[in-house]
Amino acid sequence: MPVKKDKKQQAIGIFDSGIGGLTVASAIAKALPKEQIIYFGDTAHLPYGDKSADSIKYYAIRIAQFLLEQNCKLIVIACNTASALAYDTVKDFVGKKATVIDVVNPIVHEITQNKKLKHIGVIATKATIKSDIYAKKIKHLNPKLEVASQATPLLASMIEEGFFNNKISRAIIHDYLSKPKLKKIDSLILACTHYPLIKKEIEEFYKGKTVIYDNAQAVAKMVAETLKKEKILSDKKNKVHQFYVSDYTKSFEETARNFFSSKVKLTKASIWK
């Protein structure tokens, strides 16, 4: 186990099933340049969206344990499916050892502050949509808002395989966004951290007529506020970021280098043994 260090200088742990959480990690790195990030991509089990709740909870707990072993002061569940199904489980498991932040609550809080919105659309994996977590939380904060949720199960796998910004991705995106239940929306939550990678294509579909929200900026803002509140913001430039995966994939390495420069080095961590 790594040697314990001053809590301010401990890292922020971030995990997702694959490359999607890199959008969150990148936003946090830009907002908090002095912080070190330790990222875990569970590429051996992606996508989480078609896994059982029990499996997702097991994966999330084991990854959280790994990040605690790296002395992380805060853990971000950078996955909507894991946030929807395992946030409370991870929070209970971690206890007082670290603060846990999900990707659902920050964006729900932000979107319900916009008084101009009336019809909110949500696109996500099957598991996230089945949990109905966005509709429940949005309605709890503002019962007057209408929420239309649409499962888009092909998108995360498509993005992991590098199929975006091309004819294939545009055809699939157009098919999903043309569903009847999304016809009246004035805003859309990209409720999967993979989806910011196709945000431009989604914006092109709506031609500026629909407000598009993704989690990354909202989560980065909450992380900064939390570290400041707990007085554990790093006060000096930290070590280089570290990237772990449960199984090597070329697309993950390429995407990580796009976000964090060509110096990214992946380390395979066999945490399931």
Would you name the residues annotated as active-site residues? 79, 192
Using DSSP's 3-state secondary structure scheme, residue 253 falls into helix
**How far is Cα 43 from Cα 252, in angstroms, rounded to an integer?**
8
Measure Cα distances from 168 to 18, 48, 162, 179, 249 in Å: 21, 22, 11, 18, 21
Burial (CB count within 10 angstroms: exposed 0-12, middle 13-18, buried 19+), residue 146: middle
Measure Cα distances from 157 to 24, 114, 225 in Å: 18, 32, 33
Using DSSP's 3-state secondary structure scheme, residue 225 falls into helix
Distance of CA 35 to the CA centre of its chain: 18
User: Encoding tokens for residue 181?
Assistant: 């239940």
ω into 47 cis (within 30 of 0): yes
Distance of CA 186 to the CA centre of its chain: 23
**How far is Cα 142 from Cα 193, in angstroms, rounded to an integer?**
24
